Each structure stands twice: as C-alpha cells, then as structure tokens.
Structure 1
Amino acid sequence: MQTSLNFFLNPISSTITIPSENGISSYTVTLAAYSDETCTLPLQGSDTLIVGSILYLGIFSPDLNGDAFTLRAEKCFATPTNDSNSNLNVILVDGG
C-alpha cells in the first residue's frame, strides 16, 4: 500500500498495565517512540512521521527483571484517532 498521508504520533509515549497470566500480579509497561536507534532522542508531539520512515520503539517495564523477562511487541500500529478499530491505520510493527 502506498500513501502520502502524514501521521502524528500523539502521545509519543503510552503506559499500560498488563495482568500476569496467573492474574495474581500486573506489570506496568511503557512504549515510547524515538528518532534514533539508541533510543535517546524521543519524538515530540509536534514531530511529523512520514509513512515509510524509520521509527524506533523503546518498550520499558520497571516491574520486570531484565535478566528473567523479555518484552516483545508482536504488532503495533498508528491511527489518526484513538479508535484502535479504525480502518485507517499504518502498521509500525508486525510479527515482531
């Protein structure tokens, strides 16, 4: 699919709470968008991300021990609204 639409990532970071499989505990996870591979230059709300450009995502959880757990984004997409069921979306990560 080719498109010339520009999308704004707003908010640039998002935090959710994910319940554990056993339902006893939960984990706070934050996803943030960056313009560099070292994840030191976060995208700002006024930045424009053009479809086809490179985007770096950082996924962080202060609740998890990095030696025992791995976070993986299987699918991530952007929509121009907060409706995750919108037909107008751009896949950022698929099969991650």
Structure 2
Amino acid sequence: MYPVTMAAYKDSTFTIPFYNEDEVTIGTMIYVGIFVTGADGKIYVLRIETCVASPTDNRSDVNSVYLIKNGCPQGPVSTTVLQNRNALKQLSA
C-alpha cells in the first residue's frame, strides 16, 4: 500500500492549487493531479479508473456525472485525460 494524494489546480502546469475556500464557476478548467509516493515507477503505474463530479458528498447523487469511467473520458462534461497509466515520478518541492 502506498499513500495517494489528489489535488485540484488552476493551471495545466499543476503549480497553482485550488483551496477549499475558492469559488469555482461553471465552465472553469480544473486540472486534477493524483500523486503516489514511495512506489517504484518501474513496477507500478497509476491509472484513474473512475472520477465522478457531484454537488454533494454522495457520488450516487442523482445530479452526479461521470467524468472518467473505465479509464476513459465521459460526457456530458468535457473531460480530457492528459496522462493515464504513466510510470510514477518522484516529485520534489
């Protein structure tokens, strides 16, 4: 088991994060990064299998939409997967 961190960013370089108090309007581009630490990138890859957007904490909410399902982008919300199943990289601050 390895720790996983997910964060939302305002830019495609993944350097300007969103914070809990930030307001996001409909149509705003959101870049989501998922990071794993401690795993050997020669052995493991990270794959996003499912991602759901929901107005509540319940992903089964009737107003929820799949952004990614079975590793592939879904409609009706425009979703682009920049990278999936790439080797892990060690990030440094």
TM range (shorter): 0.5 to 0.7
Q: Residue by residue, what CA displacement relative to the aligned partner does 1:57-84 show, whole Å, maximum 9, x if unpaired?
A: 1111113122332212122122222112
Letter in 1 for 2:61: S
Task: Tell me the distance in 1 between the aligned counterparts of 2:62 and 2:29.
Answer: 22
Specify which structure has the higher proportion of strand: 1
Task: Tell me the distance in 2 between the aligned counterparts of 1:79 and 1:62.
Answer: 27
Q: Structure 2 regions of 5+ residues with no counterpart? A: 74-93
Tell me what 1:64 maps to.
Answer: 39
Tell me what 2:18 maps to.
Answer: 43
Query: What percentage of residue pairs aligned between the two structures are identical?
Result: 37
Instruction: Output the aligned Cα RMSD.
Output: 2.0
Task: Tell me the distance in 2 between the aligned counterparts of 1:29 and 1:60.
Answer: 6
- 1:87 pairs with 2:62: yes
Change (3 A) 1:43 1:51: same
Letter in 2 for 1:83: N
Task: Tell me the distance in 1 between the aligned counterparts of 2:41 and 2:25.
Answer: 32
Change (3 A) 1:90 1:46: farther
Kindly tell me the number of residue pairs found equivalent between the two proteins. 71
- 1:53 pairs with 2:6: no
Q: Residue by residue, what CA displacement relative to the aligned partner does 1:4-60 show, whole Å, maximum 9, x if unpaired?
A: xxxxxxxxxxxxxxxxxxxxxx22211111111111111111222233332111111
Q: What is the TM-score of this pair, normalised by structure 1?
A: 0.59
After the TM superposition, list the runs of 4 or more consecutive aligned residues in structure 1 that deviate by more than 6 angstroms: none
